[in-house]
Amino acid sequence: MPSISLEFFPPKTADQRAQFQRSLPRFMAMRPEYASVTFGAGGSTLSYTPETVKQLMAKGLDTAPHLSCMGGTREEITVLLDAYLALGCRRIVALRGDLPSGMARAGDLRYASELVAFIRAHSGHHFRIEVGCYPEVHPQAKDAQADLHHFQAKIDAGANGAITQYFFNADGYFRFVEEVRGLGIEVPIVPGIMPITNFSQLQRFSEQCGAEIPRWITRRMQAFGADTESIRALGADVVAGLCHRLLEGGAPGLHFYTLNRAQATQAVIDRLD
């Protein structure tokens, strides 16, 4: 089985926490290399991310908190870095993040490359730093070349590796990796994998983040109407097929966007086994 990692969001409500607790044993049984924990826009989950990181670290799971610079000050970022050092974290996922609704100020650091450089200046090489990348081009990028330039800036600032936005076109990933290698960048680029459960929700997510869903997948999903079980089964088959092709093509591992629900991720992993 290839190396896998899992992404969680920090549960806020009592129901979300209970559901996450029920799912954790199944996630742990997947034997992930590490788990990452997301960070809300402008720190909207500020009090929840460290809490979730602490919980997972206590279970012996190497955990990488997401850290966003958008809307935050250097002082606030320093406090978080010190907290994660104290918890024993060895990894961080450094992202620009999104500006919260109603907030006019971008923050002291405007770009993920600046955040990576700030982490290195603060903590040296203590943290392994992962950054994001977009095989299908960031939706806010001027063009594909500008997007590659921004990615290279993050690596030059000291990032150790990258996790992609999710996608369903393996050729786009392989082309992106080829272009990145052409720039002399040799860090691991791990595909981000989104299991399919609620297809209408996935369509909304994809419109926002610029991930393309191939027409053939959409049409086959539409044919099932409200048949949830058939949608889940087809989704698992489609995503497992994508994972097989990525691994056969040399992808260094898989990073699953779990949405804190184990069933869909487990269905894909079962097919890979």
Q: Is 7 a catalytic residue?
A: yes
Residue 267 CB partners (closer than 8 Å, separation 6+)? 195, 232, 233, 236, 240
Amino acid identity for residue 235 in this structure: G
Q: Which of 7, 114, 130, 136 is catalytic?
A: 7
Query: What are residue 256's phi and psi, to 5 degrees?
Result: -95, 125
Q: Measuring CA to CA, which residue among 158, 160, 131 is closest to residue 147?
A: 131
Distance CA 13, CA 4 (A): 28
How far, CA to CA in Å, does 176 sit from each of 159, 181, 242?
17, 9, 16
Torsion region of 48: left, alpha or beta (phi above 0 gives left; psi -120 to 50 gives alpha): alpha
Whole-angstrom Cα distance, residue 96 to residue 106? 10
What residues are paired with 163 via a beta bridge?
A: 132, 190
Q: Which of 260, 224, 256 is nearest to 34 (CA)?
A: 256
User: Distance (Å, rounded) from C-alpha 260 to C-alpha 135?
Assistant: 24
Give the residue numbers marked as catalytic: 7
